Amino acid sequence: MTEQRDPTASSNNSSDQNASDTSSNDTNSLDTGSIDPHVRARAIMEGTERDLSYPPSPEALVVAVYDNHTHLEIADGENPMHYREHLDRASAVGVRGVVQVGTDVLTSRWSAAVAAREPRVLAAIAIHPNEAPALAESGELDAALAIIDELAAQPRVVAIGETGLDYYRTESSAGRDAQLAAFEAQIAIAKKHGLALQIHDRDAHDDIVATLLRVGAPEKVVFHCFSGGVELASVCAERGWYASFAGTVTFKNARNLRDALDVLPRSLLLVETDAPFLTPHPYRGRPNGPYLLPFTVRAIADHLGTDVSMLSAQLSSNTELVYGSWDAEPVVAPGDPWAAQEVPGDPHNLGGVLPEHYPGERGVST
Ligand SMILES: [Zn+2]
């Protein structure tokens, strides 16, 4: 956590190229020029030979859908796309909006700041379960959660997530205790602000469900990148919890996910990319973006034997029920943590401050 670029820290970037963006925090302009498009980069996956080019766009959907979970702040591929380019390419193929998801203080601030300016973006913010152990160890977890609580009050922040438990990455009991503490605290934040909860669940289905039942789930619960089978799907169906399917559902070896689709009511289905990860078949392993979501929608429609446009309409309606509407005019909120800060201006300068362990660098298999 020590090498991250912290937008709240005093910046030594005294260049005045952003001066007009940083001189005041009471502007209503929708200026996006002050936001660095990438504050993370995807780690190179050792030992794999990835094709680093973006796949071609799919045929456009007739009825538009939303990407329930993406990370546009992460640079990936040979020529990382700016978030506006991602959104433009998505719009062109019938992906009309995204939920941009933060995983720590830096990326949560970024997500809230972009949502405040960009009509096609709503934000989810959280401390990811893979970030919680180190923060707890350094005594910073409570302060980080307090910032999430503060950001949760911003108008276009619509979910707390991704939060949950990740037993794949964390085995020590101290680490798992930290994850659980962060998860419970963030469930409480979601309930306090009346926001949806986006859950990260990796190899932890039972404890996630037990925690939700013990402390009481928020009204809207979404299992992001749903990775369970029929059993977890049945629990979701019973409780009215949403299952958001990523590109993994298109993978040949993901029979359990397609079985889960069969037992979930259509009213609980959502779709997402989790970009830049989990690129759908036939482009698995290449950089992902919201514009590739139609591959996943079509694969689900194909499996369910339903019409793509019917399914798209259902998915959009489900999404708006969970997060509300993207239509409201974006605003630069008073107290926007980004508005008064100097933000580096070079779109692709990552400044050699890449984190060693981004939680998403988990390869492409579930
Ligand atoms: Zn994610």
**Residue 90: its pLDDT value, please?**
97
Tell me if 159 sits within 8 A of 69, measured CB to CB.
Answer: no
Tell me if 364 sits within 8 A of 285, measured CB to CB.
Answer: yes
3-state SS, one letter per residue, for 83-97: HHHHHHHHHHCCEEE
pLDDT in tens, the chain (366 residues): 333 333 333 333 333 333 333 333 333 333 444 688 888 888 765 556 788 899 999 999 999 999 999 999 998 988 899 999 999 999 999 999 999 999 999 999 999 999 999 999 999 999 999 999 999 999 999 999 999 999 999 999 999 999 999 999 888 999 999 999 999 999 999 999 999 999 999 999 999 999 999 999 999 999 999 999 999 999 999 999 999 999 999 999 999 999 999 999 999 999 999 999 999 999 999 999 999 999 999 999 999 999 999 999 999 999 999 999 998 777 665 555 555 443 433 333 333 333 333 333 333 333
Residue 316 alpha carbon to ligand 1 centre in Å: 20
Residue 42 alpha carbon to ligand 1 centre in Å: 12
Residue 295 alpha carbon to ligand 1 centre in Å: 18
Q: Please give the backbone phi and psi of residue 215, each rounded to the nearest 5 degrees, phi first.
A: -95, -10
Residue 356 alpha carbon to ligand 1 centre in Å: 17
Classified as helix, coil or strand, 49 is coil
**Residue 170: its pLDDT value, please?**
87
What does the alpha-carbon distance between residue 296 and residue 93 come to, in Å, rounded to a whole number? Answer: 13
Residue 274 alpha carbon to ligand 1 centre in Å: 5
Residue 20 alpha carbon to ligand 1 centre in Å: 33
Locate tokens 């989810």: which residue? 124
Residue 271 alpha carbon to ligand 1 centre in Å: 12
Residue 10 alpha carbon to ligand 1 centre in Å: 29
**Residue 171: its pLDDT value, please?**
85
Residue 16 alpha carbon to ligand 1 centre in Å: 34
Tell me if 35 sits within 8 A of 365, measured CB to CB.
Answer: no
Neighbours of ion ligand 1 (CB under 5 A): 274
Residue 303 alpha carbon to ligand 1 centre in Å: 24
Residue 225 alpha carbon to ligand 1 centre in Å: 8
Q: How many CA atoms lie within 13 A of 23 on its CB side?
A: 6
What does the alpha-carbon distance between residue 59 and residue 2 come to, in Å, rounded to a whole number? Answer: 43
Residue 128 alpha carbon to ligand 1 centre in Å: 9
Q: Which pTM was predicted?
A: 0.82
Nearest to 193 by CA among 223, 219, 162: 219
**Residue 334: its pLDDT value, please?**
57
Residue 111 alpha carbon to ligand 1 centre in Å: 12
Residue 266 alpha carbon to ligand 1 centre in Å: 23
DSSP state, residue 79 = S
**Residue 346: its pLDDT value, please?**
37
What does the alpha-carbon distance between residue 76 and residue 286 come to, in Å, rounded to a whole number? Answer: 9
Residue 101 alpha carbon to ligand 1 centre in Å: 7
**Residue 317: its pLDDT value, please?**
97
Residue 275 alpha carbon to ligand 1 centre in Å: 7
